[in-house]
Chains A and B, each alone.
Chain A
């Protein structure tokens, strides 16, 4: 096990109130797996991912524990966290333009991740930057190394960012919506690249996305977040093909457009996700849940284990039925 998250919570103060965004979640990530976090926008995916890298917003309050390779990451001094980011944990984001420095050649930025950690001298680092660009399949890596971010295409920038995240050879890669801003053809290239790199470099990947096609393609295990709580967690095949939690089932059917006959209405989830500070009592999903009963309005469902899957629901869909729900 490379990562162990226990009772992790993060929130913000607004107008004298404590607003909890992620509310006491626990999960483990095994070395070498692709662990995917899904959930609607605002459910707490990014806050969770960034906190694993010790990058929670400065105004946030946190509690619980995040242990990465037996080191506690929460409340660790910034200087020590910086030492881990790069050589231990690599990060990629949705929008490479906002995380690459616009006035600095791409190659220098990659080299910097090595020199900053004293892993190589300037000349060695520059050489390695070109190697990394080649490794992420950039044609003519030498030219791209001396180019500025705006001089290369979106797909190339995303590759350059992956090269930067992986230059110092981390064991964990956290990717927050890495393909969301990309065209399908480029998205496909990036997914194949990540799969290859994972094999070549023995990486563990934590992937955050709302693109279910991407999830279907790469996930080993899936964590489903709803309003800051874990709805369901388990092997990707169970979660995608036989969801037991009503929210997961609804998410899958609304996202898998091609599963619904053309021109027919999709199985959309009614209403919108609750905002911070407006989480309903009982099961947080109850106002939108087609299976809700009286107990759902008042009693928060505990997390229970069903085979390899764990879920928090009073009235889960049984497997035989989940097939039906998925089909209807």
Chain B
């Protein structure tokens, strides 16, 4: 059974001043298994953070169900949600914004214990030190305010804080996007180590396919509030079948581009789409180089590809997309730097 399950969830924001309602998430179903990492990728504004907030129950769904460990938690609020919150923690993109700037690190770290009534008495300080030592911060002055630490240090503090009560899953929204590459690597390693030691699950959200491709077991690709492709990380990275996933994968500049003769990028024209103005038929059709008449009128359902568990929402997959997918796909075994 899945640990965290979103069943056809939608979220519509009504605009002030009579503007059009925005459907940020439109009928998404996802499941994260125990000990599994699900990566969610997509462009800015496609609804990733809204989905994370739905999963964390920080906002209420407009439609659909949220289940945690088999229990329907869609209607749970306040005190009744508290035991679930303890098992389900969050890490956000901007560590400085997500930690209370007026609380010392000591206060920030003890807050989860207080919220959930975990009384460690004299042992609390030792426990906080122990947690900080997991991320190499055993020697920091915990009486300082967040503003006095670097982004990388704060993100490590945010992660161990999320770990304080030994949750079963962490929902991480762009946990490394604001960081330098060397700090980003430290955070990625930390998350991998924690998973290896404790078998926790992650829902990791990012627009960086490099990071997602590295840490995820399964990947879901989001476009304009819907999932347009889903599969194992190997399937999605090596043989993406949706033209949008293919464009995302080939857009990211990498060292491979420098080396490969004849390397070609699938360029997406136009801007990321606007959820207040959803195109008819396939939502991706205005930017799709394969689009044809049926794409403008008929919504392609998310359907299983023959012989695999890969799910793709495209009228032409896999017959007309498989070749391009193999071309832009990447091996997840890692390439040597030189060669």
Residues of A whose CB lies within 8 Å of any CB of B are 40-41, 153-156, 183-189, 191-192, 210-214, 216-217, 236-237, 240-242, 250-269, 271-273, 322-323, 326-327
Contacts and interface: CB of A to CB of B under 8 A. Distances in A.
Given A191-B253, A213-B252, A258-B214, A268 B185 contact: yes
Nearest to A252: B337
Nearest to A258: B210
Contacts of A192: 265, 267
Main secondary structure of the interface of A (DSSP, over half): helix
Contact of A327 (B153, B272, B336): B336
B29 interface: no
A268 B272 contact: no
12 contacts: A153-B272, A154-B44, A187-B251, A211-B181, A216-B253, A237-B258, A240-B255, A263-B214, A263-B215, A264-B334, A265-B192, A266-B189
A259 B272 contact: no
A268 B187 CA distance: 9
Chain B interface size, as a band, is 35 or more
Nearest to B265: A188
Nearest to B189: A265
Given A253-B337, A259-B337, A266 B255 contact: no
Nearest to A327: B336
Main secondary structure of the interface of B (DSSP, over half): helix
Contacts of A240: 255, 258, 337
A26 B247 CA distance: 41
B253 A187 contact: yes
Interface of B: 43-44, 136, 150-153, 180-186, 188-189, 192-193, 207-211, 213-215, 233, 247-248, 251-259, 265, 267-268, 271-272, 330, 332-338
Residue among B180, B334, B336 with max Cβ neighbours from chain A (10 Å): B180
Nearest to A219: B258
A217 B258 contact: yes
Contacts of A322: 338
Contact of A214 (B182, B213, B253): B253
The 5 closest A-B pairs by CB, nearest first: A326-B337, A268-B185, A255-B181, A213-B253, A254-B185
B185 A262 contact: no
Nearest to B259: A241
A271 B139 CA distance: 13
B253 A188 contact: yes
Contacts of B210: 213, 257-258
A271 B254 CA distance: 26
Contacts of B233: 262
Contacts of A323: 336-338
B207 A184 contact: yes
A183 B248 CA distance: 10
A326 B338 contact: yes
Nearest to B211: A257
A237 B151 CA distance: 31
Nearest to B188: A266
A92 B335 CA distance: 33
Residue among B180, B181, B248, B268 with max Cβ neighbours from chain A (10 Å): B181
Contacts of A156: 271
A256 B335 CA distance: 10
A262 B189 CA distance: 11
B254 A216 contact: yes
Residue among B150, B182, B209, B252 with max Cβ neighbours from chain A (10 Å): B182
Contacts of B215: 262-263
B248 A258 contact: no
A274 B251 CA distance: 34
Contacts of B255: 212-213, 216, 240-241, 256, 258-259
Given A188-B253, A257-B211, A262-B233, A326 B247 contact: no
B146 to A, nearest CB: 16
A258 B271 contact: no
A2 B257 CA distance: 28
A214 B267 CA distance: 16
Nearest to B179: A41
B252 A212 contact: no
B337 A256 contact: yes
Contact of B251 (A188, A210, A262): A188
A153 B270 CA distance: 10
Given A191-B253, A262-B214, 16 more contacts: A40-B180, A156-B271, A183-B207, A185-B247, A185-B248, A188-B265, A188-B267, A213-B252, A216-B255, A254-B182, A256-B337, A258-B213, A258-B254, A258-B255, A266-B189, A268-B185
A290 B101 CA distance: 36
Contacts of B153: 272
A185 B43 contact: yes
Contacts of A185: 43, 247-248, 251, 268, 272
B132 to A, nearest CB: 15
B188 A257 contact: yes
Contacts of B181: 210-212, 251, 254-255
Nearest to A39: B180
B182 A216 contact: no
A216 B181 CA distance: 14
Contact of A155 (B188, B251, B267, B271): B271
Contacts of B207: 183-184
Contact of A265 (B136, B180, B193, B247): B193
A264 B186 CA distance: 12
A212 B210 CA distance: 12
A138 to B, nearest CB: 11
Contacts of A266: 185, 188-189, 214
